[in-house]
Structure 1
Amino acid sequence: MKWHLALGLAILQAGTDAARATPPDIIDLRDEIFGFSEQSIFLLRSTWDNLGVYSSEQREVFLVVVDRQSGAESLAPVYQVRRDEDQAREASGPGTTWWMTRAVVPAEAVNPWQVLAEARGVPYGAGGQGDSGPAPVEGSLAPGGEIHIGLETGWSWRGEGAVLVAGIGSRLDGIAAALGEPQRIAPVTVRDLLAGQVFTDQDCDIAGGQVLDRAAGGPPSALVRIDCVEGEGGQLASLLIVLPEAWRVAAAP
């Protein structure tokens, strides 16, 4: 009886140690500008899933087409890759890890370059090419608060910050529906990690602003980067929100 009790305690302790040795399941998201046309802004929305372990990860990329007038988004898959630590391959030195990589192009995937070409769009170039520049963002994301982006040239945007925060959850819902269900240790799903989240100004911060100037065709467009952290697991969503044209309250002379 004592042997069975000792074995049971040993198994319980081993399970506890294993749980401590694994990180929480986390899926992070980040947007980057890919290109633009007169009607749309094209973003690449990347996800990183640690699968609840230190030795594996899965990354996926989606093309987000944003209407410059309304801010409405459409989402399409581009690429998926899973990496697992190759423990059979001897490391060449301390801190070196070899990975086995399996890349997948989903059957419904789109080619971002083809989509951009069909829209007669332009690849985004930061810095010297002058497609966009940083724009100071002032204000609050709290309910009733207002954010404001203004440039010395006279262009200005103004609207309720809480509206932007409220839209973060629906964007995560869209990603949750588009992602597959990779194999993981913990009994959780992608939807458990991403879907149905409600963020407030306490979870999110304004991380910066950008303005695509008239070189992009038509009036300029303003984008705000909002970083939201899910408190329990520490997941980060760093998303670019294109402000609707209705928010533009002043035009350059």
Structure 2
Amino acid sequence: MSATPAPTTRTILQVIGACVEYGPAKILREVDLDVRPGELLVLVGPNGAGKSTLLGVLAGDVALTRGRALLDGEPLASRRAGELSRRRSVLLQEHRLSFPFTVTEVVAMGRAPWHGRDESDADEAVVADAMRRTDVERLASRRFPTLSGGEKGRTSFARVMAQEAPIVLLDEPTAALDIAHQEALLTEARRLAREGRAVVAVLHDLSLAAAYADRVCVLAEGRVRADGPPLEVMRPELLSDVYGHPVDVFTHPRTGDLVVTPLRTPVEEVVR
């Protein structure tokens, strides 16, 4: 299931020397990253590595202390909110919505940036397609607050898909999903990339990252430790160092996928 590397294309979104500091805390330190159309880029790294902060910088939601964030070569901060909402869609870690909107209404919120424009003629068809692809059609009339965590995650992803933005930013999109829906969501994310969108996802599951990513960026302590194709980046010595725990990486004999697994102390040695 390993992704076939997408052809090299122009950079649509870029951070150069990105630093984010909150008082004495340095969250990002001199990060350089290019985001390209036609590519699924996965950000990995331990807790506190700066993954979600970097995604927020790419979204234009987190201000840089130093450095630059560029969209199509122009400062990201100079874009108006309406224009930005048509250029990028964002899936956050938490799916909070207090009002009892139905699933269909939540997905339809993704069409808001196109209100009053020619693109709005396709609203109904786009929403229906997004709901079908994320397996939430049967939940159409359910109220969002009554959904399980996984159902909320799929509904929120459907909203992101319905937005039809050329840049798709996903923060831990598989966190609450079962195995089948994890695979389905990342298949859709890769399909979006193959259709020409620039897709960036934060993932914790390293085997999923290796299977679906065209590029993997490894972050640790706010810095980029590696950036490249999974076969080049997913090295046991690097991952063991970054995560502070011994890790093995091997190729699945049947599928050819890279599998990343922690090395564990045998139970009998722990009890001893």
What is the TM-score when the length of structure 2 is the normalising length?
0.23
**Structure with max Cα Rg:** 1
- Structure with more contact order per residue of length (Cα contacts < 8 Å, sep ≥ 6): 2
From the two aligned structures, give the one with the greater helix fraction. Answer: 2
* Structure (1 or 2) with the greater strand fraction: 1
